[in-house]
Chains A and B, each alone.
Chain A
Amino acid sequence: MARYESLLDACGGTPLVGLPRLSPTVPEGAPPVRLWAKLEDRNPTGSVKDRAALFMVRAAEEAGQLRPGDTILEPTSGNTGISLAMVAKLRGYRLVCVMPENVSTERVQLLRMYGAEIIFSPAAGGSNQAVATAKQIAAEHPDWVMLYQYGNEANARAHYETTGPELLRDLPTITHFVAGLGTTGTLMGTGRYLREKVEGVQVVAAEPRYGELVYGLRNIDEGYVPELYDATVLSRRFSVGTRDAVLRTRQLVEVEGIFAGFSTGAILHAALAVAHQAVRVGRRADVAFVVADGGWKYLSTGAYGGTLADAEEALDGQLWA
């Protein structure tokens, strides 16, 4: 059945597609090692964040924290804002996004098109400046509601109740799940579900390693780990630099015809690492990874063409995931 009562009902249920050309070749007689892509760009606004946005808004409605006409405030570097803007529009809320000015112009245009209002925090000054801006706005508007995706259990629950069951249904032989680590919601929710159902499943995180600007803290004690994060859910965690992320993003479209954003390239890099390790030890593997969004929003970076060094430079200082 592919008919839905409204766009919100069309969230999730995304295709899982095999990658026969990118999957490693195994020696004759060895067990197969296969890569599978979960196409989360097929969600209503084109990213995996639709699942979390919908669950967080519903949870806040059920808890009586959101009433029609309320204003939602969310600091976001893009996709969550776009998802929330769509959900807010259809559910009757106003959305104000606080975002750093070093995000791609397509994201800004998309947010405005969906009806969100945007307040920029300066890129210079890194996270300290972002914190200062966000705090100031929050203090000026005590009646605005923040869903706080980094600590909102409905974010992880969206994946526990939807992404995880979908993966198990479509790939009962799954051995590895690989996703990006940001709010950690996708990995925590899907990871917990799969660990309960699949003995020995490996839950693998790929986190983007940005340019130095993003790590511009004054000292280590200002560091931050999302409240949702529980390291015991993960089996391994990879840090993927811009160059590897761009290389894999290009490979994905060149070899398999999947046009994805750069965070997906980082995730594929980690997925290939675990797949090749399985080949080396001669073990069967069905590696499912998340295609977090399509590449459309990142075209203006210019990082899909030219040399890898050019692309790396183009993305330096940008929040590409």
Chain B
Amino acid sequence: MAIEVRIPTILRSYTGGAKVVEGAGDTLGDLLTDLDSRHSGLRARLVTEAGALHRFVNVYVNDEDVRFLGALDAKLSDGDSVTILPAVAGGAFGFAAAAIGDQKLAPTVEPDRRASAADR
């Protein structure tokens, strides 16, 4: 079963520079294990030791966020397209705002919340 996986620039050191690789698996978790057998170290960059998707990684199956499809248990089918991207909500400027936000005016929403939101 072939599933196309798009790799972001920062993780291409694990795929020999390839933008797109192929893998197999009935679930996202299976797919990442399969990929790791050929691209050693990739899985550890995406999945925490506790076995959840890394907070700053977004994975999409056919353009839909897997966190709303069962996360690592999300079901995959032949011909699916999987895209991996670092979390950059708000474009690059989300980072800039966050970087100086603490110095200027403390966020009125507790930062703790981002962890719970992203790890869900």
Contact = CB atoms under 8 A, between A and B. Distances in A.
Interface in B13-34: none
Number of contact residues on B: which range applies?
35 or more
A7 interface: no
A227 B86 contact: no
Interface in A143-184: 144-154, 181-184
B68 A236 contact: yes
B56 A220 contact: yes
A307 interface: no
Nearest to A218: B10
A135 B65 contact: no
A98 to B, nearest CB: 7
Contacts of A126: 92
A130 B91 CA distance: 11
Contact of A235 (B68, B110, B111): B68
DSSP majority for the A interface?
Answer: mixed
Contact of B64 (A151, A217, A229, A237): A237
A236 B105 contact: no
A114 interface: no
B60 A239 contact: yes
Interface in A209-256: 209-210, 212, 214-232, 234-241
Given A148-B107, A225-B55, A184 B89 contact: yes
B19 to A, nearest CB: 9
A100 B92 contact: yes
Q: How large is the interface on A (under 10, 10 to 19, 20 to 34, 35 or more residues)?
A: 35 or more
Contacts, number: 201
B100 A127 contact: no
Nearest to B94: A224
B109 A153 contact: yes
Nearest to A130: B96
Contact of B96 (A131, A153, A230, A236): A131
Given A183-B90, A216-B9, A225-B89, A75 B96 contact: yes
Nearest to A136: B100
Contact of B58 (A99, A184, A212, A239): A239
Interface of B: 8-11, 45, 54-58, 60, 63-65, 67-68, 83, 85-101, 103-105, 107-111, 113-114, 116-118, 120
Interface of A: 60, 65, 73-77, 98-100, 121, 126-128, 130-131, 133-135, 137-139, 142, 144-154, 181-184, 205, 207-210, 212, 214-232, 234-241, 319, 321
Given A150-B101, A223-B87, A227-B107, 15 more contacts: A75-B100, A76-B93, A77-B93, A126-B92, A134-B96, A134-B97, A146-B100, A146-B105, A153-B108, A183-B89, A212-B9, A220-B45, A224-B90, A227-B110, A239-B58
Q: Give the 7 A-B residue pairs with the shortest CB-CB distance, closest first.
A: A223-B56, A151-B107, A146-B104, A237-B65, A127-B92, A134-B96, A138-B100
